[in-house]
Amino acid sequence: MTPATKEIAVRAPGALRALVMRIHREREFLLTEVLKVRGLMPLLMKSRNKQPWTAEDKAELALHLRRLSMLSPYLVVLAMPGGVLVLPFLSWWLDRRRNRQRKGSR
C-alpha cells in the first residue's frame, strides 16, 4: 500500500476506509493477475510460427485463459462508457460474492 493510501485509510471514516482498502486490494489483485498472464502472447504465436504446442504449452494456455476469465468483469466494466464510475460498485459486488463463497465453504 502506498503511503498516501495508508494515510487516507487511517484518517478516513469507517465506510471510506473500507472503500479505500477494497480498491487497494482489487488493484493489487489485477496487477498480479496481469503480470502472470504476461507470457501468453509468445505461447499464442507458437502456433502461428508453425511450431507445435507441447502438452506443457497447452496446460499453460489453459491456466492463462482461466486467469483472463477472472479478469473479465473488470474488462467489461472498463470498456463500457462511464465504466470507471461503476468500478467501486463492482469492487463491492465482487467482495460480497467472495465473502459468500467463504462462508459456504466452511
Cα dist. 10→14, 37, 61, 102 in Å?
A: 9, 33, 42, 27
**R_g of the chain, CA atoms, integer Å:** 18
Q: What is the pLDDT of residues 33-53, one digit of tens each?
A: 777 777 788 888 888 888 998
Q: What is the pLDDT of residues 62-106, one digit of tens each?
A: 988 888 787 777 777 767 777 777 777 777 777 776 676 666 555
Q: Is 45 helix (H, G, I), strand (E, B) or coil?
A: helix
Cell of 101: 463463497
Cα–Cα distance measured from residue 82 to residue 50, given in angstroms and rounded to the nearest whole number: 42
Q: Which residues have a Cβ under 8 Å from the Cβ of 86 and sit 6 or more positions away? A: 77, 80
